């Protein structure tokens, strides 16, 4: 069912507020991660690629290239820098001996994790004001919105020369 915002001004207002809050959250995240990256001696791309390494647990270079929508050689260059800075190591892939697995180091995770403590505490306080069902709904919305954004990022990367 498609909603016409002309027929429902309250929905139009809610959708406008949702779009505005999404832009604000996106900007806040970029600013946080820019400052976090600088604090721990990484570039933003390095920090976000490292997040993908942690999220997908021992991915290969090809896996990371696909997740990030980047060329394999670009991913390899970023991984070289992360390895030199002590944030990742390369190990034999656990399920395919022809591949190399990328593994985040505990020391690197600790260097980054210490900067999340305050924010995570404040988010815990925020989350306490919502019911379990509301939190689940917000999480599902964010997951689907992130999937859309990843797909659009890949489309932009594929169209770039």
**Residue whose tokens read 């820019």:** 34
More confident position, 134 or 157: 134
Average pLDDT estimate for 85-91: 96
39-43, 82-86, 136-140, 157-161: range with lowest mean pLDDT: 157-161
Is residue 7 scored above 90 in pLDDT? no
Axis-axis angle for helices 106-113, 9-40 (nearest 10): 120
| Three-state SS at 122 | helix
115 secondary structure, DSSP code: T
Identify which of 104, 103, 105, 102 has the alpha carbon closest to the alpha carbon of residue 60: 102
Class of domain 9-129: mainly alpha
Q: pLDDT > 70: what percent of the chain?
A: 95
Domain residue spans in the chain? 9-129
Specify the pTM. 0.79
């Amino acid at each position: 069912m498609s909603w016409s915002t002309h027929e429902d001004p309250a929905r139009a207002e809610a959708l406008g507020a949702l779009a505005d809050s999404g832009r604000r959250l996106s900007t806040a995240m970029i600013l946080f991660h820019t400052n976090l990256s600088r604090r721990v001696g990484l570039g933003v791309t390095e920090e976000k690629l490292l997040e993908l390494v942690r999220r997908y647990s021992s991915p290969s270079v090809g896996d990371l290239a696909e997740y990030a929508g980047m060329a394999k050689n670009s991913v390899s260059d970023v991984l070289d820098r992360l390895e030199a800075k002590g944030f990742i190591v390369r190990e034999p892939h656990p399920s395919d001996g022809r591949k190399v697995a990328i593994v985040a180091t505990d020391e690197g995770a600790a260097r980054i994790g210490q900067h999340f403590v305050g924010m995570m505490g404040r988010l815990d306080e925020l989350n306490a004001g919502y019911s379990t069902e509301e939190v689940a709904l917000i999480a599902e919305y964010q997951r689907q919105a992130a999937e859309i954004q990843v797909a659009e990022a890949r489309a932009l990367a594929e169209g770039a020369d």
